[in-house]
């Protein structure tokens, strides 16, 4: 044993001994008691500032970015006119907003790393009833969220799959925006303060549109905790937003995550537009299926934690087979591969990752699977295949905001290691 190792051992033997002179039970009781009190106060406080916390949460969720973006556009519309030093008057804005019944946003959005055209219709909240709805359509998916029955429908036409969720995160977020909108009048209550509190680098400039000669206001701002930046254009004649963009970075770099190229206000929308009919022959995934998968997944995680890899593998496989279309199934499939590895079944490990990649094609959630596949190939000495897998890992994670996180940095390191040979 060299001297450095001896010092490390000495440090461990000295400081990892049971706490000298410390009564562990008394200490535990004191710390946990005070920490519990502190936690209760924090939870109570967070409930008092529910809208702010919720805003933070919404700004971080990916699946509801469209709802958020739409709401941000509307809220930003108010914000853009909030400053009384501009030519607008706040009262004018309120009057304009009160007339708002619905809006349609069309443009491009990032759907699992792919830029797709979309259309989104939002029915503005009724002051009295609990009605309200949103419909999003793109070539990959149709989503209808309805407040009346607190249900969200997803339909993937290519796979002919319907997923029906109740009281999930999507509906909670939509409800929040509608509740906020009910604060009198539309989006002029706490949301304005909240936005002003949480957006950074607010800049607005008045410019003349070279094409139309009309005066416009360009606004940019960012929100650092969610690594988001926003820009939008307001027509000063109508006081309405004409276009808006949202990026998942602070520099407005690259393709925007959400690009609202057209915004149309107060169209005639038929009553049944926000109703959903299950297409013939479609596979239907219900909330019950989703809940069962989550329970099974938790069971598999527990078994894995207890190092019961064969049993964990079986349960992970059940999760995947039960609802292969859910996001959790991708992770379950990856864990099947890792269980094979722990059981020394290296060929099966590779086969599992390959099957997962073939099944789910290239999408963001596959970055980890490519990474583990690369590792498995490296272990077998197949460096060419490993290199390809690590590069695919990087490709499937393009545009992520934290490139230093696992597995990106690790993939870079392995690539350097292979290329250095």
Give contact residues for other proteins (rule: CB under 8 A): 3-4, 6-8, 10-22, 27-28, 30-32, 34-36, 38-43, 45-47, 53, 56, 225, 298, 301, 304-305, 338, 341-342, 372, 375, 379, 404, 406-407, 409-410
User: How many whole angstroms separate alpha carbon 172 and alpha carbon 58?
Assistant: 10
Minimum CB–partner distance for residue 145 and other proteins (Å): 23
User: Measured from the CB atom, is 42 or 284 closer to other proteins?
Assistant: 42
User: How many whole angstroms separate alpha carbon 146 and alpha carbon 48?
Assistant: 27
Minimum CB–partner distance for residue 2 and other proteins (Å): 10
User: How many whole angstroms separate alpha carbon 312 and alpha carbon 334?
Assistant: 12
User: How many whole angstroms separate alpha carbon 322 and alpha carbon 316?
Assistant: 10
Give 121's contacts (C-beta < 8 A, 6+ positions apart): 102, 103, 104, 134, 135, 269, 273, 274
Minimum CB–partner distance for residue 170 and other proteins (Å): 18
User: How many whole angstroms separate alpha carbon 405 and alpha carbon 371?
Assistant: 13
Give the max Cα distance, the chain: 81
User: Measured from the CB atom, is 132 or 367 closer to other proteins?
Assistant: 367
User: Measured from the CB atom, is 210 or 305 closer to other proteins?
Assistant: 305
Minimum CB–partner distance for residue 305 and other proteins (Å): 5
Strands lying side by side in the sheet with 240-247: 200-208, 215-223, 228-235, 240-247, 258-265, 102-111, 114-123, 133-138, 142-146, 151-156, 161-166, 283-285
User: Measured from the CB atom, is 26 or 87 closer to other proteins?
Assistant: 26
User: Measured from the CB atom, is 203 or 409 closer to other proteins?
Assistant: 409
Q: For residue 57, give both structure tokens.
A: 């949460």
CA proximity to 266, closest of 66, 97, 147 = 97
User: How many whole angstroms separate alpha carbon 74 and alpha carbon 98?
Assistant: 12
Minimum CB–partner distance for residue 174 and other proteins (Å): 21
Minimum CB–partner distance for residue 35 and other proteins (Å): 4
User: Measured from the CB atom, is 160 or 306 closer to other proteins?
Assistant: 306
User: Measured from the CB atom, is 209 or 291 closer to other proteins?
Assistant: 291
Alpha helices in 100-167 (DSSP H): none
Minimum CB–partner distance for residue 36 and other proteins (Å): 6
């Amino acid at each position: 044993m060299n001297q450095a190792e001896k010092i490390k051992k000495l440090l461990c033997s000295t400081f990892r001994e049971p706490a000298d002179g410390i009564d562990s039970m008394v200490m535990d009781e004191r710390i946990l008691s005070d920490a519990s009190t502190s936690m209760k106060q924090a939870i109570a406080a967070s409930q008092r500032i529910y809208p702010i916390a919720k805003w933070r949460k919404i700004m971080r969720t990916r699946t509801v970015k469209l709802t958020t973006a739409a709401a941000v556009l509307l809220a930003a519309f108010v914000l853009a006119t909030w400053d009384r030093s501009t030519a607008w008057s706040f009262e004018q804005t309120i009057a304009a907003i009160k007339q708002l019944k619905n809006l349609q946003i069309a443009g491009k959005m990032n759907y699992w790393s792919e830029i797709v055209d979309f259309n989104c219709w939002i029915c503005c909240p009724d002051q009295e009833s609990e009605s309200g709805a949103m419909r999003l359509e793109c070539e990959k998916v149709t989503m209808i969220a309805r407040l009346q029955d607190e249900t969200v429908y997803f339909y993937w036409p290519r796979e002919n799959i319907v997923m029906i969720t109740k009281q999930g995160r999507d509906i909670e977020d939509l409800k929040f925006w509608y509740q906020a909108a009910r604060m009198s009048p539309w989006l002029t209550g706490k949301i304005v303060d909240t936005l002003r509190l949480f957006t950074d680098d607010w800049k607005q400039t008045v410019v003349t549109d070279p094409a139309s000669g009309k005066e416009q206001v360009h606004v940019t701002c960012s929100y650092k905790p969610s690594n988001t930046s926003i820009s939008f254009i307001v027509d000063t004649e109508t006081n309405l937003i004409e276009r808006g963009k949202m990026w998942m970075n602070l520099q407005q770099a690259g393709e925007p995550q959400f690009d609202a190229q057209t915004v149309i206000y107060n169209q005639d929308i038929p009553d049944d537009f926000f109703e959903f009919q299950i297409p013939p022959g479609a596979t239907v995934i219900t909330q019950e299926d989703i809940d069962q998968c989550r329970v099974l997944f938790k069971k598999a995680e527990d078994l894995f934690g207890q190092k019961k890899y064969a049993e964990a593998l079986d349960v992970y496989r059940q999760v995947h087979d039960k609802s292969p279309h859910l996001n959790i199934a991708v992770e379950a499939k990856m864990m099947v591969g890792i269980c094979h590895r722990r059981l020394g079944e290296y060929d099966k490990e590779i086969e599992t990752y390959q099957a997962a990649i073939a099944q789910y094609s290239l999408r963001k959630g596959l970055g980890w699977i490519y990474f583990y596949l690369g590792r498995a190939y490296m272990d077998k000495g197949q460096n060419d295949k490993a290199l390809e897998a690590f590069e695919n890992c990087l490709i499937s994670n393009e545009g992520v905001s934290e490139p230093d996180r696992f597995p990106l940095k690790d993939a870079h390191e392995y690539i350097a290691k292979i290329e250095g040979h």
